[in-house]
Structure 1
Amino acid sequence: MSKRVLLIIGGGIAAYKSLELIRRLKERGLAVRVVMTEAAQRFVTTLAAGALVGEPVFTDLFDQAHEFDVGHIRLARECDLIIVAPATADLMAKRANGLANDLASAVLLATDKPVLMAPAMNPHMWSNAATRRNFATLQADGIRLIGPNAGEMAERGESGVGRMAEPEEIRDTAIAFLSDGPLKGKRALVTAGPTIEAIDPVRFLSNRSSGKQGYAIAAALAELGADVTLVSGPTNLAAPAGVTRVNVESARDMLEASEAALPLDVAVMVAAVADWRPTQEAQTKIKKDAAGIPAIALQENPDILATLSKPGKKRPKLVVGFAAETDHVEEHARAKIAKKGCDWIVANDVSGDVMGGAENAVILISKDKSEAWPRMAKEAVARKLAAEIAKSLGAKAPRK
């Protein structure tokens, strides 16, 4: 039986992209129904959307032809996934605050199905404190969000973060979400990229991590059906399809975001976390002067891997750490397992071009064995590790 998607089209200029989204969803065999807000109908017609889905579009909470048998409840339940695209600031605010004064918001409040929102709005609206609060509430409620992306806006001369994710991105995220892969129903955390520790408003301590391996692992876990949260330090990479990305900067930020993702089935700690941070962060730029080079006192950062590995009710079933070493790779990795209390370590030699490169050669180490993998693309490393995780969690191993 085909998976069923209910698409809610909000009232923004990006609504025209939702027509293409309908086509992209249907070409992958998904059955699509459409709800349009009153504002959405100012941008695209119900006739166009209806022609693409092959049935009437739903628009009115008080439509006598459909509401005599509580039609909004049926719409909310007779689907496998609800997509809101574009998810306007208004629609996000209504759902975050439990409002239900039109068909779209009533469906969102009445559903017990997963919801995927693709925000789209002016950058100033996206960065407004009220929108940020609503965004955090939606995430806490378990709603998956994709985007918004950066780029030019409809308003002349405007650019920034606020563009709706492209139809192909939304489709791929929906398909990953609906996947019946071996990790379906499992919750995963992946940390990726560097962290940065401020010295003053313009300088910081960091490292050369590109985030490529962590992002590839997050994508591979999502492809197997896992519900993946990617906690990422600053990178230039796009979030993988089907993955919820949380952006952070410092090690303390990363620890807070990682703990907020609990409980989990698996945590894969790939990020190159800064070991130390300045004891004091200067509030103004440190200037050159006759006194010479300033001394910067350092203090230890929290140990994220060790913290998540501690025994307790919220400890993930499987905790995987990464060890980036330049010498005695396996020896140092085994010492790290003992010290941190994690289950596995993925050790790699970073003395060459691994950081920022396209390939990696790793050793998968547990407390009682180790397995060296040949050098391969980081995406291949990610898929192989995801398959090992699936087997460890008792899921059926994916086909090669």
Structure 2
Amino acid sequence: MSSIVLGVSGGVAAYKAALLLRAFTEAGHDVRVVPTPGALHFVGAATFEALSGNPVTTDVWSDVPEVAHVRIGQEADLVVVAPATADLLARAATGRADDLLTATLLTASCPVVFVPAMHTEMWLHPATQDNVATLRRRGAVVLPPAVGRLTGPDSGPGRLPEPADIAALAAVVLEHGPDALTQDLTGRRVVISAGGTREPLDPVRYLGNRSSGKQGRSLARVAAARGADVVLVAANVELPAPFGVRVVPVGTAEELRTAMLAEAAGADVVVMAAAVADFRPAASAPTKLKKGSAGEPTSVPLVRNPDVLAELVTKRAPGQLVVGFAAETGDDAGDVLTHARAKLARKNCDVLVVNDVSAGQVFGRAENAVIVLAADGSAVEVPRGSKDAVAAGIWTTVVPRLAASSP
């Protein structure tokens, strides 16, 4: 169990902090909520106390013998400020200590994550951007805000990401430190495929695979948190879209191919994490094929689907990095890495992320472990962890190659 300080500043998005608090406590963490006085205009202290089981104060004059303004920050394993308003970011950047939250930020030696939420004009103002740059330079993680509906009819960048996204990214920082969400993809355009294609036999049945799309979705979420402009081509992925990610839904291999070729134009990185069906029925019946009827087939002829990864490699622009995925099992012809290295050479992609899917240990699971192979012969093992943590490890391995491949 980790000790998390949840800072809440005075914005209307403070109501989401209650949901984030619940996510942290359900994950087994001990959470101390430290709101600003303004935050309590939106959510009462009783709500935070009931959900956390800990007392809530806003100033350094409460419970003086505890020396809370020092002790809370010293004992924390992680500090998350959500929402972080423009005012809070300014006070944190200038080292103010005029309430319990900013005093806690000055005494915390653990990783600190700020999750901004404000109107678009405030987020884009040079003063706010300078404050964000200052906090990042000092080692804090400042997530980019989501884009969407704000207070009233306004819409744009400045929306607080959903609590599930914040909790998942906070867990990555808690496990691997702030470098896991460094802003090394800022200004980069990333296109990722995820999920599994389905090839219809009739309106009811299809040929498919067991891919849930969770790892591809995590790659998209972490890339967005690291500053990238992300497009996720999602094949039958029944998961909510990560914040900061544009989703293009597809169903079949042909639909995925069309979407990926269109979106890959101008991308800096293309990641083929989707499990694309190798074959599809030669024909799809317009009505259900009923068992025992005259139309029941005695066999189902198959035709080969296009090799989307290979086509993306042949059509890549100069400097574009193409990352493939390989879900492998060992057999009499070789082990997982033997087959993966052969696939890397055959596909001619820059990087191949290898999953050992023996005994169903990857599909639909919350955790993963991969090996990242590169065309230069290197192999980097990303140890078992949450799929978001594995995604962070993959990006940490891939990004230096992206910089090296730039023209």
TM-score normalised by structure 2 residue count? 0.56
Q: Is the 8 A contact 2:231 2:248 kept in 1?
A: yes
SS in 1 for 2:85: helix
Q: Is the 8 A contact 2:382 2:393 kept in 1?
A: no
Q: Is the 8 A contact 2:189 2:229 kept in 1?
A: yes
- The answer for the alignment partner of 2:242 in structure 1 is 240
- The answer for the alignment partner of 1:325 in structure 2 is 328
After TM superposition, give the deviation of residue 228 of structure 1 in Å: 0.9
After TM superposition, give the deviation of residue 316 of structure 1 in Å: 6.0
Cα separation, partners in 2 of 1:168 and 1:334, compared to 1, 3 Å: closer
Give the Cα separation in 2 of the matches to 1:82 and 1:348.
31
Cα separation, partners in 2 of 1:213 and 1:75, compared to 1, 3 Å: closer
Q: How does 1:40-119 map to 2 (within 5 A)?
A: 85=149, 115-116=156-157
Give the Cα separation in 1 of the matches to 2:403 and 2:337.
27
- The one-letter code of the counterpart of 1:275 is D
- The answer for the alignment partner of 2:85 in structure 1 is 26
- The answer for the alignment partner of 1:138 in structure 2 is none
- Percent of residue pairs identical: 41
Query: 1:195-248: per-residue Cα shift (whole Å, max 9, x none)?
Result: 111111111110011111111111121121111111111122222221111111
- The one-letter code of the counterpart of 1:26 is T
- The answer for the alignment partner of 2:227 in structure 1 is 225
- The one-letter code of the counterpart of 1:210 is S
- The one-letter code of the counterpart of 1:306 is A
- The answer for the alignment partner of 2:364 in structure 1 is 356
- The answer for the alignment partner of 1:338 in structure 2 is 345
Is 1:302 the counterpart of 2:306? The answer is: yes
Is 1:387 the counterpart of 2:391? The answer is: no
SS in 1 for 2:201: strand
Cα separation, partners in 2 of 1:204 and 1:30, compared to 1, 3 Å: farther
Give the Cα separation in 2 of the matches to 1:322 and 1:82.
28
Q: Is the 8 A contact 1:232 1:248 kept in 2?
A: yes
Equivalent residue for 1:287, pick from 281, 287, 290: 290
SS in 1 for 2:211: coil
Query: 1:264-315: per-residue Cα shift (whole Å, max 9, x none)?
Result: 1111111111111111111111112255653211111111111110155x36
- The answer for the alignment partner of 2:46 in structure 1 is none
Equivalent residue for 1:347, pick from 339, 344, 354: 354
Q: Is the 8 A contact 2:195 2:274 kept in 1?
A: yes
- The one-letter code of the counterpart of 1:344 is V
Equivalent residue for 1:271, pick from 258, 270, 274: 274
SS in 2 for 1:323: strand
Give the Cα separation in 2 of the matches to 1:234 and 1:299.
21
Q: How does 1:186-225 map to 2 (within 5 A)?
A: 186-225=188-227
- The answer for the alignment partner of 1:254 in structure 2 is 256
After TM superposition, give the deviation of residue 362 of structure 1 in Å: 1.8
Query: 1:23-56: per-residue Cα shift (whole Å, max 9, x none)?
Result: 935278469xxxxxxxxxxxxxxxxxxxxxxxxx
Query: 1:115-169: per-residue Cα shift (whole Å, max 9, x none)?
Result: 5498xxxxxxxxxxxxxxxxxxxxxxxxxxx9xxxxxxxxxxxxxxxxxx96997
Q: How does 1:152-163 map to 2 (within 5 A)?
A: none
Cα separation, partners in 2 of 1:278 and 1:186, compared to 1, 3 Å: same
Give the Cα separation in 2 of the matches to 1:234 and 1:300.
20
Give the Cα separation in 2 of the matches to 1:360 and 1:83.
29
Cα separation, partners in 2 of 1:221 and 1:211, compared to 1, 3 Å: same
SS in 1 for 2:247: strand
Q: Is the 8 A contact 2:147 2:244 kept in 1?
A: no
Give the Cα separation in 2 of the matches to 1:85 and 1:365.
41
SS in 2 for 1:373: strand
Q: Is the 8 A contact 1:264 1:315 kept in 2?
A: no
Q: Is the 8 A contact 2:372 2:382 kept in 1?
A: no
After TM superposition, give the deviation of residue 358 of structure 1 in Å: 2.1
Q: Is the 8 A contact 1:319 1:344 kept in 2?
A: yes
Give the Cα separation in 2 of the matches to 1:29 and 1:370.
44
TM-score normalised by structure 1 residue count? 0.57
5+ residue gaps, structure 1: 1-6, 8-18, 32-57, 59-72, 92-103, 109-114, 119-145, 147-164, 174-178, 396-400
Cα separation, partners in 2 of 1:356 and 1:340, compared to 1, 3 Å: same
Q: Is the 8 A contact 1:359 1:375 kept in 2?
A: no
SS in 1 for 2:396: helix
Give the Cα separation in 2 of the matches to 1:246 and 1:207.
20
After TM superposition, give the deviation of residue 74 of structure 1 in Å: 12
- The one-letter code of the counterpart of 2:353 is V
Cα separation, partners in 2 of 1:315 and 1:294, compared to 1, 3 Å: farther
Give the Cα separation in 2 of the matches to 1:375 and 1:167.
26
- The one-letter code of the counterpart of 2:345 is A
